[in-house]
Amino acid sequence: MTPASLERLRSAVRDVPDFPQVGILFKDITPVLANGELLKLAIDGMEEAIAGQRVDKVVGIDARGFIFGAMLAARLGIGFVPARKKGKLPWRTRGVDYALEYGTNSIEMHEDAINPGENVVLADDLLATGGTAGAVLDLMRQSGANIVASLFFIELGFLGGREKIASFGPIHSLLTY
């Protein structure tokens, strides 16, 4: 990924102040998704981060992680596994509760989605505090996955998410703020 390509991606991300609540600067990736060239660049960047490694599956996090995760999986010709908010998956699940700034949340994966020993990559749109990614990485570990890497389109470095999930393996972000 050239610096010029990264700059093109960075300038396409739209900052929306006070969404979904006052004080949050929301990173809107829809302008990247709406542009075919940029969309391809984003997946090129994620693919590059794990180049040369054997990967069996990509896990994507509800909901924007489905977009990046599924595209990456299709690019690599491997399977995609959704990690979903509680109550959305129809089959037998394994779940984990995790703390939010206010209250808690739960995330689930089908218990047969990953076979023990499979090489798995996590994909999401954005790493903030790392609470969500940490919960999913925990589920992946419980499933017996060999965690190859966690890939994010955006990382909000000042929130310390990287430290929170560092013990699970390598972390790659295309754009850091």
Answer yes or no: are the C-beta atoms of 173 and 155 closer than 8 Å.
yes
Element (H, E) at 98: strand 93-99
Give me the catalytic one of 8, 10, 64, 75.
Answer: 64
Among 9, 27, 60, 66, binds ligand AMP (CB under 6 A): 27
Catalytic: 101? yes
Angle, helices 36-49/64-76, rounded to nearest 10 degrees: 70
User: Minimum distance from CB of 41 to ligand AMP (Å)?
Assistant: 19
Catalytic: 75? no
Backbone φ and ψ for 111, nearest 5 degrees, come out as -70, -20
Among 41, 83, 123, 128, binds ligand AMP (CB under 6 A): 128
Report the alpha-carbon distance of residue 86 to residue 96 in Å, rounded: 9
Q: Does 125 bind ligand AMP (CB under 6 A)?
A: yes
Contacts with ligand AMP by CB under 6 A lie at 24-27, 61, 64, 124-133, 161
